Amino acid sequence: MTSQPASRTASSVARQPVTLGTDGLTAADVLSVARHGAPVDLDPAAREEVARVRAHVDALAAPGHAPVYGVSTGFGALADTAIEPVMRGALQRSLIRSHAAGAGPEVETEVVRALMLLRARTLASGRTGVRPVVLENMLALLNAHITPIVHEYGSLGCSGDLAPLSHCALVLMGEGRARDRDGTERPVRELLTEAGIEPVELAEKEGLALINGTDGMLGMLLMAIADLDDLVRLADVTCSLTVQGLRGRDGVFRPELHAPLRPHPGQEASAANILALLEGSPIIADVASEGSRVQDAYSLRCAPQVAGGVRDTIDHARTVADRELAASIDNPVVLEDGTVTSNGNFHGAPVAYVLDFLAVVAADLASIAERRTDRMLDKARSHGLPPFLADDPGVDSGFMIAQYTQAALVSEMKRLAMPASVDSIPSSAMQEDHVSMGWHAARKLRTSVENLRRVLAIELLTAARAVDLRAPLAPSPAGLAAIAVLRETVPGPGPDRFLAPDIAEAEERLRDGSVLAAVEGVVGHLR
């Protein structure tokens, strides 16, 4: 499920330090730390605010004060159980140990780093009541590239991403499991000693503050948005190549057919992109002079409507992500006047919904790309191309099975489009009787994003071959640029060859940003 950044993102997000203050982080900050290993500094003003708020918590924890949830009581269904001062440290340790109950495969390093950074962001807001040392040690783990081992299962997306965050908190305590910057698992105490980090002895409320947030699902949402921003542009690139490979028409992408008639901003952007990518194509000019076909199939003609709807959904998800980035999520939370009060802001529903929305639109974008690919392989619909683009049809199978692979990927994406957020299984003796399943929505979205990239890689391979077979007619300058990148590692038309490495190479060219950079070098920034 690992999702890596494109090279253009890597070049634009340098390893400059990210400063964590009371005003939070940007999406770019999170990507820089999670994906590119940028160091994190703590604003002195944020440290002072954390210390000031902690004084309120210490006063509430003093002997003789009325019980306060999370400070001097048990948790969840045990919220009405008062805990004596001498046992409160043990209470916090027990909370973390018992909640570090994840199972299944390890999640990716970038997800764990995002998880820790976003929890640190909330700690720095001064709304959680932890001591500064807890926050500072969390940042020290990030800067030392110590990555707690977090498992696939354990969060219901409510009361926080409890198990994943608990595995991180356990490492702060000098326990649990972790990997070093090279990915090698080593004893936690050894890693902390090497980095000069003292294990934290948790005090009142600190255990709860370390695990009560939507940080995992938010981190994965931010990374999915960044990936989809590139992939939806790449879908316009592969579509433009397919239009040329199928001798399609460019008239349906004219601006007067979009914003004036149907003012969806994403549709307008996609149509403008495809039109620019087709500009100057001798293939398209030849089709226009032929004048025999009135209109193309939906998978070509309606591409801006589908890719545009994907863009608009991404923009909605970005709005939700930005709002969540501005949030300070904990329960109980410390208000401006020092009051510590319970709330339900840890419920992941808003984030879970958009994670599910993105899985739906990713599946549909992959679906229309697969239909375009299939059309290029069918001699009855490809307008003169050989069956399956084979060099010697009958002897060679061409790209027949590449389309099978595409279909398998799309089929899985359709299954993954089933929303996680409609499910809820009560927990904690019915105290937590409605949950978001946002973590699961995020995990399946990561798979969908990877599958979408593979689907587009196969369309790129197929369309490039179809365009090459149209010689001596050439594609547009942007099309030539995209194909040139591919041809650096993948040969053009010829007899059947081991196809899996070619698919992997095409996928890597989409992942590393080289195809997008090449076409944008011709037409400018795609919207």
| Catalytic sites, residue numbers | 69
What string of H, E and C letters represents the secondary structure of 455-517? Answer: HHHHHHHHHHHHHHCCCCCCCCHHHHHHHHHHHCCCCCCCCCCCCHHHHHHHHHHHHCCHHHH
- For residue 499, the one-letter residue type is L
Provide the sign of the torsion angle of the four alpha carbons 308, 310, 311, 313, taken in this order: positive
DSSP states of 301-359? HTHHHHHHHHHHHHHHHHHHHHHHHT----SSEE-TTS-EE---TT--HHHHHHHHHHH
Contact 388, 399 (CB under 8 A): yes
Q: What are phi and psi of 146, to 5 degrees?
A: -90, 120
Dihedral angle sign, alpha carbons of residues 430, 433, 438, 440: positive
Pairing mode of beta strands 18-20, 40-42: parallel
Q: What DSSP character marks residue 145?
A: T
CB hemisphere CA count around 523 (13 angstroms): 27
Q: In whole angstroms, what is the distance from residue 9 CA to residue 227 CA? A: 10
489 residue type, one letter? T
**What's CA 259's distance to the chain center, in Å?**
29
Q: Which H helix or E strand runs over 50? A: helix 44-60
